[in-house]
Amino acid sequence: MTDTEDHIREFARVKPTSGTPQMGRFIAALRRLQDITVATDPDPALWDDSAALIEDICARLEQHRAPAGSAPAGRATNLPGNGHPLMPPWQVMAASPDEVTMAGSFTRFHVGGNDAVHGGVIPLFYDWHFGMVVSAAGRPDSRTAYLHVDYRRVTPIDAPLRSRAWIDEVDGRKLFVRATMTDADGNVLSEANGLMIKLLAHQP
C-alpha cells in the first residue's frame, strides 16, 4: 500500500452525496432569506416576528443533529454550493484529474458595496474551488498553505460567471493550483494561485 493510500485509510474523508429535492428547496429558501436580510429595513416588530419563526425552525431542526461527515450540507454535489449556505451558489460543470471548471453567480448577500461582490468572498470561493481540484485529482485531504488573489475587475452580482482552476505543479505533499474567474464576455475578473499541502495522518 502506498503512502497516499495509507493516508486515505487513516484520515476520514468526506464522502460526496446527493441532496434531496426537499433539501434543495430548503437551501434555496435559506439563500433567499440571506439576500432579503441584507436588503430590507422593516419595522422592529417584523424583526421580532421573523426571529420567532426562525427560532422555531431551529428548535425543530435541532432534534435531528447528525455527526460530522454525516449531514448532507457541504457534501450534496447536486446542489448549488454543495448544499452549504456558506458557499456561493456555484456548481461543478466539468472535472478531470488536472482541472475543475465551475459556474454560478453571486447575489445580494455577497455584496461589499455598490452591487459589487465583497472582496473577502472571492478568496473564500477560490479556497473552495481549490479543494475541488484536490478531490478531482484523487489526492488525500489537504489544507491551504497560502492563497493569493489578484483582482482585475469588479465582480458583479446576479450575473453568470465561470471559474477554471487547474494544477500548476506537484511537489510531493505540495499541490500548486491556479484559477481564473471570467464573466459571460470572457473578461477576467480575478486570478488566484495557492498551495495545498497534503495532511499527515496525525493532522486534523
Q: Is residue 204 part of a domain?
A: no
pLDDT band for 13, please (50, 70, 90 cuts).
Answer: low
- Work out how many domains the chain is built from and give that number: 1
Domain span including residue 102: 3-198
Q: Is residue 98 part of a domain?
A: yes
Q: Is residue 203 part of a domain?
A: no
Output the DSSP codes for 72-116.
Answer: STTTBTTSGGGG-TTS-SEEEEEE-SSEEEEEE---GGGEEETTE
Q: Is the pTM of this model over 0.85?
A: yes
| pLDDT tens, residue by residue, 110-139 | 999 999 999 999 999 999 999 999 999 999
Q: Is residue 50 part of a domain?
A: yes
Q: Is residue 43 part of a domain?
A: yes
Check pLDDT > 50 for residue 2. Answer: no
Q: Is residue 28 part of a domain?
A: yes
| CATH at residue 56 | 3.10.129.10
pLDDT band for 140, please (50, 70, 90 cuts).
Answer: confident
